[in-house]
Structure 1
């Protein structure tokens, strides 16, 4: 079993974006030491509680802290950008850290409508172009643009020893369909949508078309996870994640609530219902319990790789959570 990490560089209340980014540097070092397979960073815009707005910049910093673990984007939101420029960025990263770089892409806006307009200088871009953008990006990464392409002959320099791994990220059958038809690897965001993921993964495999990047389908799945020595301790820390998730749904984009706030929170019946539903997006418990649930999740998706995201208030408890899970799976012996 391969375990990986998705890091949004969350900002706990009372801390700064710099604090959160320093925690990401600390976490990637620990992840490599513990034997995690890959480490992805997110792209979000106009959110006070998340420090990761530019994955390319953060990847460069994190890759300088590592030698083995794969570092990548989870993901670059391609509709905002030129496929050519994205290919240049990741070819440069692949030269700085050969055979370590992943390019995960998504088509979500990554923020509110106003930040999307700001990113595109007021232009309203159609998502209908997304498949063509992915095709162009593949062409630049493999130096294999179609003969009739208007930019045939343009190279995304500097060309690396080998292209980055390309993953399409999503939480629906639409994203999986694009990944299958275009021949990319596929990562399902169970931490966003816990409904129907295994069926989506099965559809992706059945429909997969080989490409210049992949001859066979590849799937991983990402879920929130909070692990501690006891169920009670894990639940206590997970309460800050649960309240944060609820606040995000309510349009509040501030930092992760404190333990005291989570303990004092008195939900309405509707909020209690939403928190119950959101528990389907989280694995919580002691190391043995968490390991069992991760293995069950992997089996349901028919994958040997699960990505974990742990957005809780206590940053030392966050590091310990990843450590306890790595120890439960004895990851270091496979590193």
Structure 2
């Protein structure tokens, strides 16, 4: 089983955005040193505690500071953009960092309604066209438009020696269907929604187009993991994340991840404890030995 990192570039109390983005780079370098397969960074807008609105910019910087680890967007929010521009951008990254670039795409807004309007006049309409937009993006990356298509004479220069690997990210059966239909890898965001995860992953594996010609299912199952030297230390670290989840649910988490001092001194209410139990259902918390024993998700990979 391969291990990878998805980074949200999360602001912590007392840190600046510059601190966070430099931490992201250090995290990618540590992942490379420890043998992780890939490092992805997410796209968000108008969320003060999430510091990366442009994964493609961060990937260029991180790529220049690493050597071998795969790098990708998790996800590029495709309804905001024209597929041709995304293909050009990620072909450029793939030219700089050959055989290291993943292009994960999603259809969500990644931010507030106001930000969605500021970024696009017709986001909702473009989200409905997501299947067609993904197909257009795939054709640009593969240079596979039919001869009579208006875009058949267009190239997304520069053309890399190895094109970026397209992934579809999602939490629904619809996203799995799309990945299966187009014969591309699929990443399921369990940390966002655990609903019907088994059904969704099984559908992708059983219906992947191209299996008869040798295409194999390729999946990521993205789980929220907090791991430390001991179970006790992991639970202590988890308190900050859990307190932040509680704060976000009540609209007061805009300052970022609480400090250990704040979280350790906080007393959760009975209602908050119920929220925490629900959050923990989507998390793995423990020592390396304990995390390794928690293998209930490996069947999906």
TM over 0.5, shorter chain: yes
Higher RCO (Cα < 8 Å, 6 or more apart): 1
Residue 248 of structure 2 is matched in structure 1 by: 248
CA deviation digits over 1:53-84, x for unaligned, max 9?
Answer: 10000001111111111011111010110000
Residue 229 of structure 1 is matched in structure 2 by: 229
Whether contact under 8 Å (1:117, 1:124) holds in the other structure is no
Unaligned 5+ residue runs, structure 1?
Answer: 304-335
Q: How far apart, in 2, do the equivalents of 1:230 and 1:266 lie?
A: 23
Residue 115 of structure 1 is matched in structure 2 by: 115
- CA drift of 1:264 comes to 2.9
Whether contact under 8 Å (2:80, 2:123) holds in the other structure is no
Unaligned 5+ residue runs, structure 2?
Answer: none
SS at match of 1:2: coil
Q: How far apart, in 2, do the equivalents of 1:96 and 1:215 lie?
A: 27
- CA drift of 1:124 comes to 4.7
SS at match of 1:74: strand
Residue 82 of structure 1 is matched in structure 2 by: 82
Q: For this pair of structures, how many residues does the alignment match?
A: 299
Residue 219 of structure 1 is matched in structure 2 by: 219
- CA drift of 1:152 comes to 2.2
Residue 130 of structure 2 is matched in structure 1 by: 130
- CA drift of 1:229 comes to 1.5
| Mapping 1:156-305, distance limit 5 Å | 156-210=156-210, 215-251=215-251, 252-293=253-294, 295-299=295-299, 301=300, 303=301
SS at match of 1:138: helix
Whether contact under 8 Å (2:116, 2:123) holds in the other structure is no
Residue 18 of structure 1 is matched in structure 2 by: 18
Q: CA RMSD for the aligned pairs?
A: 1.7
1:101 equivalent to 2:83? Answer: no
Q: How far apart, in 1, do the equivalents of 2:49 and 2:173 lie?
A: 29
SS at match of 2:4: strand
SS at match of 2:222: strand
Q: How far apart, in 1, do the equivalents of 2:55 and 2:163 lie?
A: 17
Residue 51 of structure 2 is matched in structure 1 by: 51
Q: How far apart, in 1, do the equivalents of 2:119 and 2:248 lie?
A: 21
SS at match of 1:3: coil
| TM-score, reference length from structure 1 | 0.85
CA deviation digits over 1:70-123, x for unaligned, max 9?
Answer: 011111010110000000000000000000000011111101111111111476
Q: How far apart, in 2, do the equivalents of 1:126 and 1:28 lie?
A: 32
- CA drift of 1:175 comes to 1.1
